């Protein structure tokens, strides 16, 4: 099951029951930005169709990191630019086999099959620290705040709406998985320095900056 949450004019989070996942959409006058694409091509196609109910402008995709549930749904969006951090490409697909086996152990055989058969679509556009994209009347910034969940995390800042898509650097409903414990607090500081009104985690409901700060203090 999935549902939209509108976070501001033309800014949306799409919430999925499976893995408590949250994907994103930012709509401009000429283009829209898709934030992550889901864990397989069926989910990606569902997400793409849901976006087309909101807007018909061409899309760009940004991947917040290389874990399977954030990028194996990319194929239904092609052809389009796919943005990611420069270290993302090398990490993509590394967890596929582990999750296929996990789904099989949990008797989720259809999810295992879909993940096993999904095409890995590498990013076409890479950046190192920060890049700003013009969606037409709206600019969004993709930034790498430092190592935290992975060594290639990407956040998406929508300044005119006060919204920040944080990927899995932030989670709501469960503690975040921190791959780089010594660096994660600094990455969170970089995100909070943007003074977002709403922070969208990779899993869970959108939160405010105070929630993120409390999570940082608790986990540091």
Distance CA 79, CA 26 (A): 18
> Is the pLDDT confidence value at 220 over 90?
no
For residue 1, the model assigns a pLDDT of: 86
Confidence of residue 194 (pLDDT cuts 50, 70, 90): very high
Domain ranges of the chain: 2-219
- The predicted pLDDT at position 5 comes to 97
What does the pLDDT look like over 96-151, one tens digit per residue?
999 999 999 999 999 999 999 999 999 999 999 999 999 999 999 999 999 999 99
CA 153 → CA 6, 63, 107, 138, distances in Å?
24, 9, 31, 23
Element (H, E) at 199: strand 198-203
pLDDT band of residue 62 (cuts 50, 70, 90) is: very high
Confidence of residue 182 (pLDDT cuts 50, 70, 90): very high
Assign 112 to helix, strand or coil.
helix
- What does pTM read for this prediction? 0.97
**Topology adopted by domain 2-219:** Metallo-beta-lactamase; Chain A (3.60.15)
Beta strand pairing call for 125-127 and 82-85: parallel
């Amino acid at each position: 099951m999935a549902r939209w949450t509108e976070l501001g004019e033309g800014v949306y989070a799409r919430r999925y029951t499976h893995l408590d996942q949250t994907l994103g959409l930012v709509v401009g006058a000429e283009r829209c930005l898709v934030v992550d694409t889901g864990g397989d091509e069926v989910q990606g196609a569902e997400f793409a169709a849901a976006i087309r109910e909101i807007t018909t402008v061409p899309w760009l995709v940004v991947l917040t990191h290389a874990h399977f549930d954030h990028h194996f749904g990319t194929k239904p969006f092609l052809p389009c630019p796919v943005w990611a951090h420069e270290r993302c490409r090398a990490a993509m697909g590394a967890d596929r086999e582990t999750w296929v086996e996990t789904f099989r152990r949990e008797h989720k055989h259809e999810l295992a099959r879909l993940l096993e058969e999904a095409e890995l679509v590498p990013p076409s556009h890479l950046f190192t620290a920060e890049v700003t994209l013009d969606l037409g009347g709206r600019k969004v910034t993709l930034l790498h705040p430092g190592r935290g969940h992975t060594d290639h995390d990407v956040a998406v800042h929508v300044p005119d709406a006060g919204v920040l898509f944080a990927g899995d650097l932030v989670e709501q409903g469960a503690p975040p998985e921190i791959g780089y414990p010594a660096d994660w607090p600094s990455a969170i500081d970089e995100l909070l320095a943007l003074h977002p009104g709403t922070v969208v985690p990779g899993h869970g409901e959108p939160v405010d900056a105070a929630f993120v700060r409390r999570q940082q203090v608790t986990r540091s």
